[in-house]
Structure 1
């Protein structure tokens, strides 16, 4: 396993030229042009179809932008945007919803995805 943190340079150029085979890309949604960087990260090819793209601090973007990214916005911390690479990955046709429970003793957030039978939510 190899983990590399990159904080210098143009993010789009780095993704296309140097990190196109990354299995996971994490983007801070507080930076300028995070929408363009997120879309670029989704388009480039990874080692397999299970490669994911995460965006943290995503609540500032607004939930309406998640549809344009074909992604899930999870209510974790300041928002976590989650999608898979490839043209047909991301939000599926199946209906589901996210449930957030906060442990009153520890303050931990527990997030569950619940799929409804026969596409009903």
Structure 2
């Protein structure tokens, strides 16, 4: 999906013990699109495990940054593709500080079943900036749940500012647990 989006900056937050398969796919996609692939890990233990696993499987390692993900996200401008694990207690903070590319971004959230049981909403809980245009979201029952969101293009100042603030449209969201359809109308 990252390669199909032709992403130029692919970012993932990874912790020790997490599956490496997503990281492998992102690294290969980054090679195909000549993108920058950044893996953010919280500590040295996670960095060592990530580097070893990547060398064992693909034979190379993308850029690894050892710090808290929400700290790093403010420094990475133009994120096209972001992968975050919803079991991380700070995944919403990671999104809040993300600075998406001008053409928009694709956000992929692993282990989304755990998040959906808490009454989670994309907007209104400080996850995405006010005015961020959610173009489309889809929930896939893969593994522990995969939530994919496409946020719209921006005016170039980071995350959240829509190009046309006076545009009004309907958005449909289907609750994956109950099957209920929700329609929202707003200015984006």
Q: TM-score, length-normalised on structure 2?
A: 0.40
Q: TM-score, length-normalised on structure 1?
A: 0.58
Root-mean-square deviation (CA, aligned residues, Å) is: 2.9
Contact (CA 8 Å) 2:80, 2:100: kept in 1 or not? no
| Runs (5+) with no aligned partner, structure 2 | 1-33, 42-65, 128-133, 153-159, 163-168, 176-188
1:4 match: 38
Give the strand-richer structure, 1 or 2. 2
Tell me whether 1:52 sits opposite 2:106 in the alignment.
yes
* Aligned equivalents of 2:79, 2:94: Cα separation in 1: 14
2:142 match: 76
* Aligned equivalents of 1:73, 1:40: Cα separation in 2: 23
How many residue pairs end up in the alignment? 92
Q: Which has the higher contact order (CA 8 A, sep 6+)?
A: 1
1:93 match: 170
* Aligned equivalents of 1:14, 1:57: Cα separation in 2: 22
Contact (CA 8 Å) 1:66, 1:73: kept in 2 or not? no
